[in-house]
Amino acid sequence: MQKVGYNVHDRRSSEEQLRNPTAHGHHHDHHSHHHHVHHQEKIDGHNHKASHDKQLAVPDNKHKEDEVHYEDEEDEVEENDDDLSNAVGSTEGEDFNFKADLLNNTKYAEVDFVFFNRVPKVGSQSLMELMARLGKINGFTHARNKGSAHETIVMNKQRQNDLIADLLTRPKPHIYSQHVAYINFTRFHLPKPIYINLIRDPIDRIISWHYYIRAPWYYRDMQAKLGDKAIPMPSEEFMNLDLDTCVRNHDPHCTFTQMQIKNPVGDHRRQTLFFCGMNQKLCMPFNSEAAMQKAKRTVETEYAVVGTWEDTNITLSVLEAYIPRFFRNAKVAYYLGKDRLSRVNRNNVTRIVSDETRLILRKNLTNEIEFYEFCKQRLYLQYAALSHGKRFGEDDYLLVPEQQNDYNEDY
């Protein structure tokens, strides 16, 4: 089968973008454009090597299925869902090659299909809205799973195979979005898709999730979509519980037991799980270094782009250049509809979180934070590769957001 990727999708358009990049974004939306060209300083002198040289110590914890968010209903435990032996990365002392082609995993895809296994509370609703618009412009279809009161993030082999089989029978080109951990299509001897995802600061994700599930509109929306299957509105005590009090009183919703496999109340605190994969023994322990290292390796070898709305322009620029078949004109489409896109699934029910609480969260999310920083560094490297050795033109500043704080932590 012919590989689907950078050159197959749109070689002429992509090369033109690299010769004359337009509307490249900033390191952060609220930075002035004078800081625009200094991303290289953040990464000079670094070897971009996969951080999987540490031994993967698989914890011995035994566990039952988490019925709330993560586990499949069956008792099967996936222990070898991925090849853990494929080492990649540069050797010590080797200067990183900034050519965009070497950082672009799109060329390894074997089917004209983008798989967006979206992480909760990272702004994925906004990206799906953008992709729906781009589908009309670039000629592809987009679909998402219908959702349910309790989504299955980790699946057994049969459910993975059934999902993949369904997705690969859909007309191409196509993008599919679902809250689900990384699925290794190759393991089932099926063609590899183009993987994309978004990430967010782990502390902000915890804060966002805490208040998201305490917003009355969330339960009304669930009721409208799911009817009798929807989760009922919780108690007033639960709805009014602020995060500072929750953490200070060691409420079960706000305790972060290291290496915990099953959280009795369920939540979305494990961002690494969505990149680590379906190996429950390896990927489920909370804030696990082994899970973090596996997640890094998966991003490095499998994902075309892992972006963040914290760096909107950079993310859109990298998506445009690395996956042009699907994301050509992404910046124009985003900013023309920015008012609508920035309000998708937005939650206005939030409160100020104390520095003390943030510090406690930081101490308990060390490996989650390291993974997040790794993904951001990779995104910056991909962006730097597009502009390496080139001057930015005036057009690069056309799509800078007018407002200083374009990133809303409550989406």
Select 95-386's CATH number: 3.40.50.300, 3.30.70.1400, 3.40.30.10, 3.40.190.10.
3.40.50.300
297: left (phi over 0), alpha (psi -120 to 50) or beta: alpha
Q: Is 339 or 265 the better-scoring residue by pLDDT?
A: 339
Name the DSSP letter for residue 231: P
Distance CA 46, CA 193 (A): 30
Mean pLDDT of the region 237-252: 95
Q: How confident is the prediction for the chain on average, in pLDDT?
A: 77
Edge-to-edge strand ranges of the sheet holding 113-116? 141-144, 174-177, 113-116, 194-198, 303-307
One-letter identity of residue 261: I
Distance CA 50, CA 298 (A): 10
Let me know: does 296 contact 50? Beta carbons within 8 Å: yes
Task: Please write the tens of the pLDDT for every residue from 196-220.
Answer: 999 999 999 999 999 988 998 888 8
Mean pLDDT of the region 280-301: 97
Which ranges of 230-288 would DSSP assign to H, the alpha helix? 236-239, 243-248, 273-276, 280-283
- pLDDT > 60? residue 95: no
pTM greater than 0.85 (yes/no): no
Q: Which candidate in 24, 179, 210, 268 is catalytic?
A: 179
Cα–Cα distances in angstroms (integers) from residue 128 to residues 95, 122, 163, 192, in the given order: 37, 12, 19, 21
- Of 56-65, 237-246, 286-295, 352-361, the range with the lowest mean pLDDT is 56-65
Task: Please write the tens of the pLDDT for every residue from 177-188.
Answer: 999 999 999 999
In DSSP terms, which residues pair with 144 in a beta bridge? 177
- Classify 304 as helix, strand or coil: strand
pLDDT at residue 347, rounded to an integer = 61
- Whether 179 is catalytic: yes
One-letter identity of residue 125: Q
**How many residues does this entry show for the chain?**
411
pLDDT at residue 344, rounded to an integer = 58
- pLDDT > 50? residue 23: no
Which ranges of 284-354 would DSSP assign to H, the alpha helix? 289-302, 312-322, 324-327, 330-336, 338-341
